[in-house]
Every structure is written in structure tokens, then in C-alpha cells.
Amino acid sequence: MFLVFLVTIPILGVPIWYFKRDSSINIPFMASAALLLLGLLGFKDVFTGSALVYKMALSGPFSPSFRIDALSAVFVLLASFLWLVVAIYAPEYMQHEGKTAGFELCTLLTFSAVLGVFMAGDLITMLLFFELMTIASYFWVVHRWNGEAVKAGYFYLFFSIIGGLFLALGIVFLGSSGQPLTLGSGAVGAFEQPLSIWGIVLLIAGFGIKAGMVPLHLWLPHAHSVAPTPASALLSGLIIKIGAYGLIRVGEFVGWGAQLSGGTAFLGPGLISAGVLTMLLGVTGALLQSDAKRLLAYHSVSQMGYIILGLGAGLYLGTQGSYGLVGAVYHIVNHALFKATLFLGVGVIYTATKETDLYKLGGLLRKFPVTAVLMFFAVMGITGTPGLNGYASKTILHHAVSQAALAGTPLVVWAERLFMLVGVGTTASFAKLYYLMFLGQPTKLEVSGGETKQFQAAMSLLVAIMVLIGLRPGLFVRIAALPLAEGLGLANAGPALKGLNFWAVPDLVGMAVTLALGVAFCWVGLKSGLFHWQPPRFLTLEGLGMLIYQGFSSLFRNLSLIYRNTAVALKRRARVVRGRFLTLSEKMENPEAITFGNMSFSDISANTGLLMAVLVVLILVYTYKDLGHYVKLPIPLAKWIGK
């Protein structure tokens, strides 16, 4: 019951929202504060290994069930914290965007749906809240309701709908062998049927769409950049993490901490390669963007790649996979914190300049000193600078990948090399963002207004947690990650994680090299104009998709044209035949004169003539057929007509 109550807290805010007269009542703030408080108080036992479970007792095929284990608890707390921060930030910001009330409602409903996804106890309950979240957050994306927003909205809606349908089909396929798809019950048994393996693949694709896994990420840069900034922060900070959460749960069906073999053995390498591709494409896309929000959105793709890579390494390593899983979860938390900070910072600049194009901004350090400092922390976080939170999770992920590379195939070895390369790209793109925004030539735009207390408070909250994690990286691992990994079935996570040293010299040196190379690359890129390069259409996935779509639609158009022309021609032909038939029968009806060859039936009626003709034909046919009994004839009528 407690769990259902938690899910409905934001919905309880809806009536207040409807009846409130005073716009200073911040309902999302109250809801998220309540959740954070209740979560911190109520989830104590969860982290010691006992899950909270509640199943509604409804008759029929569906009764929602709810469950919180350590993994869910981490996500619920993270979501509540992010919503709290955004609730502090949004009222001030939305003054500049308009339609405050609608935004607030949407925030509440999405919050409830997100909590539902994290607390769901079986796949169908999860799908229910997943779809609700899609619908609720769609209104964030189309908030501005101009051409661009509607287009991005279509991208978002259609990709999400397809994701939902994939999940449904995956559930059907996976459930075809009769397992109940409840979460937290471990692996669903051997994957002997190809159908249940396809079920897993479909579930991964469905959650992968939400997670922005390449090539299913096309919607993400559009949707995350047109939404109002607080919504972008939540979309990038948390909503895409639902995809990652789903992937972890799918991993649970396959079995964390078990050496995968047979039909599911491809999942580890598959996820690793998907992760690396996502990282690479995301970071390349980010380097080429000129719009700050699009750059951040592409970076969400890239950072999701890290997370997917971690999950892949975790599955690949089987019993030793705790680094991969824990690194992924840790990175989810860290990415949520710094990506939200970055978006909120860009939003602060946007409120004052109404501009997010990086090449039109610059030199804003003087006017926005606090934002600049806070953004600098976030940039250090995302690039993995030691002392900030990104370093902690990237180190664990790097450990996981190198561990896999030791054991593994050339694919995984390449994954390790590309890991460093992506780090360089990340540093370069954020050096570019920071340089073009806060340093460099002062902007020519008119700057009105500046930082307010709410903006600073919201961002400082995030940065405080980031610094805390950065300085005490082991804390999260001890409190949350260890019970989480053990709860998911990684039995020997304890020794591996307790022996973790974050401050090993090779790691520090590696990071320093990455940072230096990144800054150098950024300098080269800015000087040479490399960042202005636009890839040709067929090289981008989006352009490729568009080309395929155009091919299909022209094929469809031509096919339907052919069909229509054929139909018209046939109809015309039929009309001609009907006309001839009519004239013929008119002639037959006409008793005056009919001529067959030389004979003229001018005196008898045509009907009689017709009758006679039929009789003659019948006599001929039956004579011929009768002959067939004695002589072999070229056309065997006797056989066809019968005796």
C-alpha cells in the first residue's frame, strides 16, 4: 500500500493544481520533497537486501504489482531529487516560456509515471507506466508548439510508440513459454526456444529506443533540445535512464552474475558494441553541433553509450561482472546530476539572451559568474576530471572494460581503445561549449536580466552532491551499489567492490592525458573550422532514414498509381464489353432481321433463331462427344462432360 501511495503522491497534487488560485504554491516541489523524505525514511530496509512488495488483488488477467529493491530505490531517490531541483528552477524559468500551468501539470503526471516505472513489480505494470510516461512527457516536447516542436514531438511520439509495441511483443514472445514476468525473481530459465531469445532482443530494442541506443536514438536530439530547459534536464537526466533501467531489468531475466551461454551468449558482446557505437556517434554528433542544447542532447546519447557499454561488459563477464553493472548504475546517477546542471545552466543563459546558438554567445563569464562556476563543475564532472563525480563512474567502467578486454575477443579490445577516444571527444566538445559560451569574444546579443536566487539554488544543490560523490567516490558504492549488485544476483560483488581503489596512479594519469588531448583537440577544431563541417546526408543516420522513407513512399505512390490505372482501364474495358453485350441482345430481341453468314432469318423471331442455334450447338457437341467413345479425338470432350 505504501508503494501505491508513493506513486500517487504527484497525482494527489493534480486537484490542488486545478483549484489553486495562488501561483506561488509550488506543487511539484511539495510532491518531490515528500517523496524524497518518505523515500529516505522508508527505504532503509531495502538497502539491506529485503525488497518491499505489494500486489493489488484484482481479478482477471491484470493486477498491478509493485516492488522496490535496492536498484529501484536508487532510481526513485534520484528521480525525486532531480524533480525537486527542477521544481525549484522551473517557476522562474517558465516565466520566459509561458504556459506555466500546463507545464506544471505535465511535470506532475510524468513524475508519477516515472515513479511507477521504477516501482513496477512485473513487466506489464512497467509497460503501463512506461506508456503513461510517454504520453505525459510528449507535452513537454511539444510545449512551444511551433513547427520545430511539433516535428520533434512526432519523432518522440512515434519512436516511443514503436518502443512500447516492441516491449509488448517482447513480453508476448518471452512469456510464450509460460513464465510469469515478475521482476526480482531472477533468470527466467534456459533460453532454448529462439522465440524467447527474440523476446529478449525485442525488450532490449524497446528500452533501447528510450535509452537512445544507436541506431534508435534519432528522436533524442530533436526532442531534448526543443523542450523547455527544465524539461530537457529531466528528459536527459532521468527519462532516458528509464531505458537503462529497463535494460538492467532485462539483464535480470537473462541472469546477472551467470556466465551466459548458448542462445543468450551474444548479449554481452552485442550490448558492448551497441554501447561503443552509441558513444562514438553521440560524441561525433555533439562535436558538430552549434546549438548548446543539441550538443547536450547528443552528449546524452554518448553518455548512454557508456552506460550500455557497462551493462554489456557486466553481462559479458558473468560472475565477475559487478564492475560493469555497478559502473553503469553509478554513471546513471552521475550523468543525471551533471547533465541536469548543464541543461539548467544553458537555460539560465537562454532566459537572458533568448539564444542557444553557441557561435552567437561568448564572454558571458562576467555577467553570469555563479552560473559559470557551477557549469564548470558540471563540465569537469562530465569529462571525468578527478575530484568530481564523473571520474568515479568512468573509472569503474574503465576497469570493467579492461577486465573484459583481458578475457576477450578483438571486439572488446577495440571497445577499450575507443573508450579513451570518446573521452577525448567528450572533453573537446565541452571545452568548446564552455569556451564559446563563457570565454572568447563577448556576445553582440542584448543581455537582459541575469541569475536569480532560484537558478543558483537549484544548480548548487546538484553541484554539492556532485562534489560530495567526487571526493568520496566509495560512499555510493558501499551504501547503494553493493546491495544493489548482490540483490540482482552478483554473488561475489562484495570482494570486488570493497577492493576498489579510485585513486590508482594509472587511472589518474589516463584521465589527465585524456583531458589534455581533449583540450588540444578542441583548440585544433575551433581554429581549423572542423566543428563547422556538416556530414553529407547519406552519412548521417537521419538522412539515411529520410532517404529510405522517400524511397518507400515513392514506391508506394507508384504502386498505387499502377493499381489505380489498372482499375480504371479494367473498368473501361468492362463497360465496352457490357455495351457490346447489350447491343447483341438488343439485336437478338429485335424480331425483324438477323443474318448469320448467308442465312437470313427475316421471318422468324430472333428468339427462335437463338433456340435453334443452341440446339444445333448441343447436337454437334454431343455427336462429337459420342464419337469420342469409339475414336480418339483431339479434344477429349467425353472425359470432360462425363457419361
Partner 1 sequence: MLELGMALFSGVTGALVVASLPKATERLRRAVVLLFSVTGMVFSWRVAIKIFNGGNIGIIAQLGGLTWSLDPDPLGAMFGLIASTLWVFAAIYSFGYMERKTRPQTYYAFFLISLSATLGVAFSGNLLALYFFYELLTLATYPLVIHERSADAVKAGRKYIIYSLSGAAAILIAIVLTYIWSGKIDFASGPILVNTMRPGLNLLLALFVGGFGVKAALMPLHRWLPAAMVAPTPISALLHAVAVVYSGVYGILRVVYSVFGRELMGTLSLARKLPWVAAFTILVGVIIATQQDVLKRRLAYHTISQLSYILLGAFTLQPWGLGGAILHMISYSTLKVTLFFCAGIIAERADETAVSRMQGVGWSLPKTMIAFGVASLGMVGMLPLNTFWSKYYLMRGGVQSGQWSLALVLIGSGIINAICFLPTVVASFQGEKAKSSGETGGNTMLMLGPTLCLAGIALLIGLYPGIVWPGVEAVVNRFF
Binding residues (CB under 8 A) for partner 1: these are 58-63, 124, 127-128, 130-132, 134-135, 142, 145, 150, 153-154, 157-158, 161-162, 164-166, 168-169, 171-173, 175-176, 195, 560
Query: By C-beta, is 164 or 387 nearer to partner 1?
Result: 164
Query: By C-beta, is 163 or 237 nearer to partner 1?
Result: 163
Q: How far is the CB of 579 from partner 1 (least distance, A)?
A: 21
Q: Cα(430)–Cα(379) distance, rounded to whole angstroms?
A: 6
Q: Cα(8)–Cα(43) distance, rounded to whole angstroms?
A: 17
Q: How far is the CB of 203 from partner 1 (least distance, A)?
A: 14
Q: Cα(311)–Cα(315) distance, rounded to whole angstroms?
A: 6
**CA angle 367-370-371, nearest 5°?**
80
Q: How far is the CB of 505 from partner 1 (least distance, A)?
A: 52
Q: Strand, helix or coil at 424?
A: helix
Q: How far is the CB of 196 from partner 1 (least distance, A)?
A: 11
C-alpha cell at position 567: 482499375
Query: By C-beta, is 165 or 457 nearer to partner 1?
Result: 165
In sequence order, the 6+-apart residues with CB closer than 8 A to the CB of 206 are: 163, 164, 165, 166, 167, 170, 246
Query: By C-beta, is 174 or 301 nearer to partner 1?
Result: 174
In sequence order, the 6+-apart residues with CB closer than 8 A to the CB of 91 are: 23, 26, 100, 454
Q: What DSSP string describes 136-178? A: HHHHHHTTT-SHHHHHHHHHHHHHHHHHHHHHHHHHHHHHTT-
Q: How far is the CB of 255 from partner 1 (least distance, A)?
A: 23
Query: By C-beta, is 204 or 424 nearer to partner 1?
Result: 204
Query: By C-beta, is 62 or 266 nearer to partner 1?
Result: 62
Q: Cα(549)–Cα(397) distance, rounded to whole angstroms?
A: 38
The closest alpha carbon to 10, from 94, 183, 133, belongs to: 133
Beta bridge partners of 595: 600
Q: Which long-range contacts (CB under 8 A, 24 or more apart) does 52-57 make?
A: 52/2, 52/3, 53/121, 53/184, 54/1, 54/2, 54/3, 54/4, 54/121, 55/121, 56/4
Q: How far is the CB of 182 from partner 1 (least distance, A)?
A: 17
DSSP H helical ranges for 212-266: 219-226, 229-234, 240-254
Q: How far is the CB of 351 from partner 1 (least distance, A)?
A: 26
Query: By C-beta, is 127 or 297 nearer to partner 1?
Result: 127
The closest alpha carbon to 234, from 450, 462, 426, 438, belongs to: 462
Whose cell is 454437334? That residue is: 620
Q: What is the 3-state secondary structure (H, E, C) of 391-404?
A: HHHHHHHHHHHHHH
Q: How far is the CB of 150 from partner 1 (least distance, A)?
A: 6
Q: How far is the CB of 60 from partner 1 (least distance, A)?
A: 2
Instruction: Give the H/E segment covering residue 44.
Output: none
Query: By C-beta, is 202 or 329 nearer to partner 1?
Result: 202
Query: By C-beta, is 94 or 142 nearer to partner 1?
Result: 142
Q: How far is the CB of 289 from partner 1 (least distance, A)?
A: 27
Query: By C-beta, is 30 or 150 nearer to partner 1?
Result: 150
Query: By C-beta, is 133 or 214 nearer to partner 1?
Result: 133
Q: Strand, helix or coil at 65?
A: strand
Q: Strand, helix or coil at 206?
A: helix
Query: By C-beta, is 205 or 637 nearer to partner 1?
Result: 205
Q: Strand, helix or coil at 258?
A: coil
The closest alpha carbon to 640, from 614, 628, 623, belongs to: 628
Q: Strand, helix or coil at 288?
A: coil
Q: How far is the CB of 70 from partner 1 (least distance, A)?
A: 27
C-alpha cell at position 184: 526480482
Q: How far is the CB of 145 from partner 1 (least distance, A)?
A: 8
Query: By C-beta, is 130 or 430 nearer to partner 1?
Result: 130
Query: By C-beta, is 125 or 278 nearer to partner 1?
Result: 125
Beta bridge partners of 53: 67
Whose cell is 475414336? That residue is: 631
> For residues 396 and 326, is the Cβ–Cβ distance under 8 A?
yes
Query: By C-beta, is 125 or 443 nearer to partner 1?
Result: 125
Q: How far is the CB of 168 from partner 1 (least distance, A)?
A: 6
In sequence order, the 6+-apart residues with CB closer than 8 A to the CB of 604 are: none
In sequence order, the 6+-apart residues with CB closer than 8 A to the CB of 617 are: none
Q: Cα(29)–Cα(92) distance, rounded to whole angstroms?
A: 13
> In Å, what is the CA distance from 211 to each residue of 220, 265, 302, 365?
9, 22, 11, 34
Q: How far is the CB of 612 from partner 1 (least distance, A)?
A: 33
> For residues 252 and 347, is the Cβ–Cβ distance under 8 A?
no
The closest alpha carbon to 275, from 302, 255, 251, belongs to: 302
Q: How far is the CB of 287 from partner 1 (least distance, A)?
A: 33
Query: By C-beta, is 176 or 607 nearer to partner 1?
Result: 176
Q: How far is the CB of 567 from partner 1 (least distance, A)?
A: 12
